[in-house]
Amino acid sequence: MMKKMLSVRKKIRGKRRKYQAVDRWREKNEKVDFDSLTAFGAQYARLDIKPWNNSYRTGHNTFSYWNPPLEFQIYILQCMLELYDSWNKQLANRISDLQLWIYQPEFVYSLVSLTRKDVTPYNEEALVKSDNEFPVHRFPGLRKELEKFHFSSFYHDEEFYENESFGVCQHFGYRRLLTREQMLKEMVELGAIKEMVILDDGQIDNKYTLRKGLIWTGTV
């Protein structure tokens, strides 16, 4: 297990409790659930760590989550690397797909993903490829471990369909009724990309894509 990198920066309120919360998250996810992996084909260690898993309303009638400060992003990523290493050893050459998913700037969405080879990880099929290199420089002290990984880069997009989403829109578990005019205004203000698409049932709809950032998927 890698040596812990405790920062010597100025103390912030509740810092020790936050480090302990990250440690509990790592310990909770330490073991591979082989029964679940067999039954459902996947296991994910998402960052459901307080206080960053608490949602808040943004200025555009949407909801998001608090992003950990960089100091904690570094520590969380270190714990994710430890989980990856632990899961990899537990798999003992079983055929599977083990990945790191690292989001920027919304790091709070990051996770460790384990799937059977016949299962597509998370929402991988919907991802749009990008050419951005992984920002190793953001995580000082972890370069040696991160350079063992091969990273692929994708855009972090959120899609809305005019006939489906406008009128009833759901963000992160909160259901809100918005008028068509409110939704159109929101899409324009957020810089959504509009595209006319033909759905599986042959109907024509307008798709609005919000580009929220980048995702890197990494494997050893």
| Residue that wins the pLDDT comparison between 25 and 48 | 25
Mean per-residue pLDDT, 96-101: 94
* Tens-digit pLDDT profile for residues 104-126: 998 999 999 999 988 877 666 67
CB-facing half-sphere around the CA of 4: CA atoms within 13 A = 10
Assess if residue 87 is contained within a domain: yes
Does a structural domain hold residue 171? no
What is the predicted pLDDT for the residue at 167? Answer: 56
pLDDT of residue 5: 39
Average pLDDT on 44-57 reads: 76
- Please write the tens of the pLDDT for every residue from 130-186: 999 999 999 989 999 999 999 999 999 888 887 776 655 544 344 455 677 777 887
pTM over 0.75: yes
Angle at 124 between CA 123 and CA 128, to 5 degrees: 110
Query: Number of structural domains, the chain?
Result: 1
Q: Is residue 101 part of a domain?
A: yes
Is the pLDDT at 57 greater than 90? The verdict is no
Q: Is residue 139 part of a domain?
A: yes
In a domain, 10, yes or no: no
Round the average pLDDT of the chain to a whole number and report it: 82
Query: Has residue 126 been placed in a domain?
Result: yes
Q: Residue 130 falls within a domain, yes or no?
A: yes
Residue 5 lies in a domain: no
Q: Encode pLDDT of 69-80 as tens digits.
A: 999 999 999 999
Q: Which domain holds residue 29?
A: 16-157+212-219
- Strands 42-46, 111-116: pairing kind: antiparallel
